[in-house]
């Protein structure tokens, strides 16, 4: 058996730098600086919400972000820690510990690289959109719930990962509510919401308000709220929890390269976390790359190369203490709107974060956690596709069941269970739908052939005869009238057949033979005929049972005296 052809490792950067101009370089540097500034508060917020230190989020954005851009298959995608991972990473840290998170991240990188190498990137596209919407909305709800602790300033040492337990712990500690934290969080959330975000404004005959609006739109709202909240906390000495009080600040350097201790005993416990990280990373990165394709005039992304780059990034980042990384839609869109033309912009974004860490890390000590909670609440709201709930009434029961089922299972249990059950439901409903499309019917009056001999019954088969539809064929003998001597199956509308369908056809032939009824097949299409020949059915029934057209089958029946 021939081995599958492996996908060549060729980053998009190699093609993008051909004919690369100074104009493109300036545009990419400007875009990279902008995205780097946007990524800084998000990287810290995602890390803290995931139950790890803020510098681990920044390191992930630097190391993994650089590798994803340099080695990826997309022109403008930005990689780094993502909101979709928050719930998963937090659960892994609580259940298995930080060291095992690093091991699971590295193992997921191996899986992602193997998926790309084996050309499995296109398979992600076969996941139904209902499942993606369901678990995305579920993760958004969990992110929002996890931020209530810091938003209200509750004194909770460690928030559990389970949904109902989280609610119980939050209610139990409601008496520790901090009004200063709530005021900072809500103010930051409101400012991020109303801060100008559009870059497309009139250029001619504009007043100072429009000019100020355009200038403000180029400054990320997350940075504005972070700076203002930090200044307010430091100047007014507000009694709120900060990065410095909880984590001791952020180191002014990158961590040393240190491989996490690996053992097969740990690896065997991390099978499901590893699969979850790899699956979610593949889905998020390729969805993000498809979004980027629709925003730029450039060659479409290479999904297999993108998966290999994601794999390398997730294998390397844990060696620096980094957490799982993937493509991020918000930062990628910002990158495009800022004028990025190539993967160089993503590499500049990582370099920008590195410079910030080396030069200004001590300034982060006064960043209030409530401000990061406000930012993450905004992220979680934008992450969810809430309008899809209102549109459910326009769709079928299977669509509603899959989406709502995936949503509730993500919230109550976890992403792995939700996707597994969602895929199972999607398969069941697909099988049911396909089975309803298969029909066994007599010819319509308008299409009925003339001169059908006495004792000859005709049935037309429509659709696909597969394991989910064989019951309709098995019921056919009981539907034949008394005196039937020949059954002609017109198969010109039977587009495909599987082995279960062929077995049902063989069973039909045996039942008919016991009743003295001859089976004839007319106008058999290529795929069913090929299966019949390969399985030996055609040789068993004989070539005389096959006819090229329905008329020829009736003529053969007439000549046989039945």
Domain boundary among 406, 436, 466: 436
Residues 378 and 414 placed together within one structural domain of the fold: no
pLDDT at 529 over 80: yes
Strands 439-441, 456-465: pairing is antiparallel
- Tell me how far apart the alpha carbons of residues 103 and 362 are, in angstroms, rounded to a whole number: 29
- Tell me how far apart the alpha carbons of residues 199 and 273 are, in angstroms, rounded to a whole number: 40
User: Which of 18-27, 107-116, 283-292 tops mean pLDDT?
Assistant: 107-116
550 falls within a domain:
yes
- Are 132 and 415 spatial neighbours (Cβ–Cβ below 8 Å)? no
Residues 333 and 421 placed together within one structural domain of the fold: no
DSSP classification of residue 260: P
96 falls within a domain:
yes
pLDDT of residue 382: 87
Query: Scanning the structure block, which residue is given the tokens 């969602």?
Result: 422
Element (H, E) at 432: helix 415-437
CATH number at residue 475: 3.30.750.24
- Tell me how far apart the alpha carbons of residues 211 and 388 are, in angstroms, rounded to a whole number: 36
Residues 216 and 235 placed together within one structural domain of the fold: yes
pLDDT tier for residue 61 given thresholds of 50, 70 and 90: very high
3 falls within a domain:
no
Residues 219 and 359 placed together within one structural domain of the fold: yes
pLDDT tens digits, 468-526? 999 999 999 999 998 899 999 999 999 999 999 999 999 999 999 999 999 999 999 99
pLDDT tens digits, 29-58? 999 998 998 898 999 999 999 999 999 999
Residues 411 and 448 placed together within one structural domain of the fold: no
Residues 284 and 373 placed together within one structural domain of the fold: yes
pLDDT tier for residue 266 given thresholds of 50, 70 and 90: confident
Q: What is the domain count for the chain?
A: 3
Residues 67 and 194 placed together within one structural domain of the fold: yes
Element (H, E) at 439: strand 439-441
Residues 181 and 108 placed together within one structural domain of the fold: yes
Domain boundary among 344, 365, 384: 384
State in Å, rounded, how far the first CA of the chain is from the last one. Answer: 48
Cut 0.75: pTM above it: yes
Residues 182 and 300 placed together within one structural domain of the fold: yes
10 falls within a domain:
no
118 falls within a domain:
yes
Residues 407 and 502 placed together within one structural domain of the fold: no
368 falls within a domain:
yes
544 falls within a domain:
yes
Residue range(s) defining the domain that contains residue 524 = 439-559
- Tell me how far apart the alpha carbons of residues 512 and 409 are, in angstroms, rounded to a whole number: 49
pLDDT of residue 1: 46
CA-wise closest residue to 85 among 75, 95, 93:
93
Residues 401 and 307 placed together within one structural domain of the fold: no
Residues 167 and 148 placed together within one structural domain of the fold: yes
9 falls within a domain:
no
């Amino acid at each position: 058996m021939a081995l599958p052809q492996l996908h060549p490792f060729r980053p998009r950067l190699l093609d993008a730098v051909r004919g690369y101009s100074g104009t493109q370089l300036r545009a990419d540097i400007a875009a990279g600086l902008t995205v780097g500034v946007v990524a800084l508060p998000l990287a810290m917020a995602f890390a803290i919400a995931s139950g790890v230190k803020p510098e681990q989020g920044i390191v992930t954005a630097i190391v993994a972000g650089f590798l994803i851009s340099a080695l990826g298959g997309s022109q403008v995608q930005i990689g780094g820690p993502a909101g979709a991972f928050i719930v998963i990473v937090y659960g892994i840290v609580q259940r298995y510990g930080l060291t095992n998170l690093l091991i699971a991240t590295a193992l997921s990188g191996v899986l992602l690289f193997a998926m790309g190498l084996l050309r499995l990137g296109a398979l992600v596209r076969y996941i139904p959109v209902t499942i993606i919407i369901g678990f995305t909305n579920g993760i958004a709800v969990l992110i929002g719930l996890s931020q209530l602790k810091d938003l209200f300033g509750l004194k909770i040492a460690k928030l559990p990962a389970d949904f109902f337990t989280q609610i119980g712990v939050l209610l139990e500690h409601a008496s520790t509510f901090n009004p200063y934290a709530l005021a900072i969080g809500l103010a930051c959330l409101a400012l991020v919401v109303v801060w100008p975000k559009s870059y497309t404004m009139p250029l001619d005959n504009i007043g100072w308000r429009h000019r100020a609006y355009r200038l403000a739109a180029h400054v990320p709202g997350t940075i504005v709220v972070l700076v203002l909240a930090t200044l307010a906390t430091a100047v007014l000495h507000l009694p709120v929890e900060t990065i410095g009080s909880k984590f001791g600040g952020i180191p002014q350097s990158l961590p040393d390269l240190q491989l996490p201790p690996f053992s097969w005993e740990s690896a065997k416990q991390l099978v499901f976390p590893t699969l979850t990280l790899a699956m979610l990373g593949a889905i998020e990165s390729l969805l993000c790359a498809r979004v980027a394709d629709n925003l730029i005039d450039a060659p479409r992304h290479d999904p297999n190369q993108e998966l290999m780059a994601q794999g390398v990034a997730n294998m390397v980042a844990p060696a620096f203490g980094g957490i799982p990384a993937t493509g991020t839609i918000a930062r990628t869109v910002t990158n495009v709107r800022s004028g990025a033309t190539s993967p160089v912009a993503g590499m500049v974004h990582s370099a920008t974060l590195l410079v910030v860490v080396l030069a200004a890390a001590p300034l982060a000590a006064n960043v209030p956690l409530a401000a990061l909670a406000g930012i993450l609440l905004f992220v979680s709201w934008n992450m969810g596709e809430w309008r899809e709930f209102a549109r459910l009434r326009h769709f079928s029961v299977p669509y509603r069941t899959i989406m709502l089922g995936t949503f509730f299972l993500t919230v109550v249990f976890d992403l792995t269970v939700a996707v597994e059950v969602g895929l199972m439901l999607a398969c069941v409903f697909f099988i049911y739908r396909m089975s309803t499309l298969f029909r066994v019917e007599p010819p319509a009056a308008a299409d009925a052939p003339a001169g059908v001999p006495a004792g000859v019954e005709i049935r037309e088969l429509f659709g696909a005869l597969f394991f989910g539809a064989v019951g309709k064929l098995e019921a056919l003998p009981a539907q034949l009238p008394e005196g039937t001597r020949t059954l002609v199956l017109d198969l010109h509308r039977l587009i495909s057949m599987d082995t279960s369908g062929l077995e049902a056809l063989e069973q039909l032939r045996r039942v008919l033979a016991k009743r003295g009824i001859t089976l004839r097949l007319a106008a058999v299409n290529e795929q069913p005929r090929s299966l019949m020949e390969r399985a030996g059915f055609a040789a068993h029934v004989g070539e005389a049972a096959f006819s090229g057209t329905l008329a020829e089958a009736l003529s053969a029946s007439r000549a046989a005296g039945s």
